[in-house]
Amino acid sequence: MQENSKTQGITTFGSCIIRAPADAASLTFSILRLGKRPRDAFSSVRETIKSLRKYFARATIDDVGSSRVTMTQEFQYSGGERKFIGYEAKVGFHVVLKDLDRIEEVLIGIIDAGVNVVESVVFQTRNLKELRKTARVRAVESAREKAEIYCKAAGVGVGRVLSIEDVNPDSLRGGESHVKWAVDSDDAAEVRAFDPGAISVNGAVKVSYAIVTQG
């Protein structure tokens, strides 16, 4: 068998989704305070920060990040007119919890301490790098298997790899990252129930192969 130089080869798409249980949670929240004067807003935020840090100490939460305190002027629209209502001071916090059973407890604790905006609670996996590597390897295997099926049906063989193109799997469905909630996969896999809260790590690729024919 030899490669037919007159053909363009075959290009197949392969993908893989690995569903993994979450082992961490990322909490993002803020303290917002409104005051008639800047010093009033700043003072109120700082007092709440003290209360929040005391809670972190009591709850032995040490994986905490925070932003600097910022300030904006706030207005209210009424009857088509814009009315100045004061200065709003804001500081944001980010906490990573490795004990998922504590999420409810911590949310209640930070709100009791004075937090008034909870932006997000996102489940994560600390094994993302290895899981993504495995998903990409399986995506290539899927593309190869598909190429072999097509070529066998056409009575030809799969030759050497001509090109490999990495594909962001979430771009196919409007996502923005390699981690998302579980979705359908192009990969042939066993259909079974899974945890709706599982983290899905995706891999996708386009691979072009030369076609080999008898002769």
Give tens-digit pLDDT for 11-37. 999 999 988 889 999 999 999 999 999
Q: Are residues 71 and 9 in the same domain?
A: no
Q: Are residues 179 and 96 in the same domain?
A: no
Q: Are residues 38 and 112 in the same domain?
A: yes
- Tally of structural domains, the chain: 2
| Domain finish residue from 104, 124, 144 | 124
Q: Are residues 107 and 152 in the same domain?
A: no
Tokens read off for 35? 């005051």
Q: Are residues 11 and 57 in the same domain?
A: no
Q: Are residues 101 and 165 in the same domain?
A: no
Cα dihedral 160, 164, 169, 174 sign: negative
- pTM, whole model, 2 decimals? 0.68
Domain containing 116: what range?
24-124
Region of 177 please: left (phi>0), alpha (psi -120 to 50) or beta: beta
Q: Are residues 65 and 153 in the same domain?
A: no
CATH number, domain of 8, equals: 3.30.110.170
Give pLDDT, residue 198.
80
Give pLDDT, residue 78.
85
Q: What is the per-residue burial (b if ≥16 Cβ within 10 Å, else e) of 18-53?
A: bebeeebbebebbbbbebeeeeebbebbeebbeebe
- Amino acid identity of residue 157, one-letter, is G
Give pLDDT, residue 214.
66
CATH number, domain of 67, equals: 3.30.70.2970
Q: Are residues 86 and 144 in the same domain?
A: no
Q: Are residues 120 and 131 in the same domain?
A: no
In degrees and rounded to multiples of 5, residue 130 shows phi and psi of -70, -40
Q: Give how far the C-alpha of residue 140 lies from the chain's centroid of Cα atoms, to the nearest Å.
A: 22
- Walk along the chain (215 residues) and give the pLDDT tens digit of each residue: 555 545 579 999 999 998 888 999 999 999 999 999 999 999 999 999 999 999 999 999 999 999 999 999 999 998 889 999 999 999 999 999 999 999 999 999 999 999 999 999 999 888 989 999 999 999 999 999 999 999 999 999 999 999 999 998 766 554 434 333 333 455 544 545 556 568 888 999 999 999 998 66
| Domain finish residue from 64, 90, 124 | 124
Give pLDDT, residue 211.
94
Give pLDDT, residue 174.
44
Instruction: Give the SS3 label for residue 39.
Output: helix
| Domain finish residue from 100, 124, 148 | 124
